[in-house]
């Protein structure tokens, strides 16, 4: 090796087998349709504001992760419907990792100062994350049903139809309870045949069922594990909600949201919502 040239460490030669010609074959960019994806960031600020690209990419990537979460939630729900518990648990494990990624993303947006956000906020007009149809799909799949939310999407027939369909279908938790019933657990019949469009409410008899599971986890391991996976998902969802609240409060304080909500106060009220109430209530019973 010649001293002083650094050639042996500063350059990596392409191997002979590496594909170079994509005139007739698929490239990485072709497969991912990067021409479409990377042209979807169109800042509106005039004069251009440096931080608008951050704001756009933050929310676009969140929507991509939400799309994957919906894909996994729908699959987990379908698998529970056919009593395929093991692959359903695999889906739930992936959902948790998606949730953690979404929560971590808030740290990037938190680098946006109030002064910087004030320069781009006028160009958002009435658009708001409150209007994310995919976020509402996730909530509906997890059981937080609210028919009034469907009305927000009357301008988008596809989104409205998807939400209306989910509104009237069993949630992931509903399918879990049906699975338990088919396995011989004493799930109250009123929970198995109800109006799925209505918000789920806690049931004391179901707490008794889960108390039996938690009293002898080795005898009910599959159900026990599923209960804990569901608690993990709810816990991760609440962390996302709280981190969202923190970032909004940090960036805009107590201003009214661009979509017309009360902003921080509206987000704070969401922290009281729960998807799987009995799985939290049963914790009071354990060890008594």
Question: Which residues are documented as binding site?
Answer: 55-59, 117, 121, 244, 258
Provide the residue count of the chain.
288
Cα 182–Cα 184–Cα 190 angle in degrees, nearest 5: 70
Largest CA distance in the chain: 82
Q: For residue 86, which of 214, 185, 179, 200 has the smallest C-alpha distance? A: 179
Cα 131–Cα 135–Cα 45 angle in degrees, nearest 5: 45
CA atoms of 72 and 143, how far apart (whole Å): 15
CA atoms of 172 and 180, how far apart (whole Å): 12
Which element (helix H / strand E) includes 119? helix 114-120
285 within 8 A of 211, measured Cβ to Cβ:
yes
Extract the annotated binding site for substrate.
55-59, 117, 121, 258
How far are the Cα atoms of 47, 118, 197 from residue 115, in angstroms, in the given order?
16, 5, 42
Extract the annotated binding site for heme.
244
Other CB atoms closer than 10 Å to residue 10's CB: what's the count?
7
CA atoms of 145 and 139, how far apart (whole Å): 7
92 within 8 A of 78, measured Cβ to Cβ:
no
């Amino acid at each position: 090796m010649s001293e002083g040239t650094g050639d042996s460490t500063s350059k990596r030669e392409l191997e002979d087998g590496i594909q170079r010609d994509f005139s007739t074959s698929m490239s990485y960019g072709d497969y991912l349709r990067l021409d479409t994806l990377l042209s979807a960031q169109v800042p509106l600020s005039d004069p251009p504001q440096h931080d608008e690209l951050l704001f756009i990419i933050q929310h676009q990537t969140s929507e991509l992760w939400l799309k994957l979460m919906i894909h996994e939630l729908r699959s987990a729900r379908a698998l529970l419907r056919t009593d395929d518990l093991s692959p359903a648990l695999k889906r739930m494990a992936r959902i948790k990792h998606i949730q953690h990624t979404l929560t971590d993303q808030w740290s990037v947006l938190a680098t946006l100062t109030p002064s910087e956000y004030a320069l781009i906020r006028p160009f958002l007009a009435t658009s708001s994350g409150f209007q994310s149809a995919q976020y509402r799909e996730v909530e509906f799949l997890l059981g937080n049903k609210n028919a009034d939310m469907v009305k927000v999407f009357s301008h988008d027939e596809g989104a409205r139809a998807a939400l209306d369909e989910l509104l009237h279908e069993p949630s992931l938790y509903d399918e879990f309870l049906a699975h338990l019933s088919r396995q011989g657990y004493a799930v109250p019949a009123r929970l198995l045949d109800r109006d799925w469009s209505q918000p789920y409410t806690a049931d004391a008899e179901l707490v008794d069922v889960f108390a039996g599971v938690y009293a002898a986890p080795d005898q009910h391991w599959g159900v026990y594990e599923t209960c804990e996976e569901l608690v993990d998902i709810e816990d991760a969802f609440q962390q996302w909600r709280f981190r969202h609240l923190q970032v909004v409060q940090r960036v805009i304080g107590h201003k009214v949201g661009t979509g017309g909500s009360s902003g921080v106060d509206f987000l704070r009220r969401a922290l009281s919502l729960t998807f799987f109430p009995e799985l939290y209530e049963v914790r009071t019973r354990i060890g008594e």
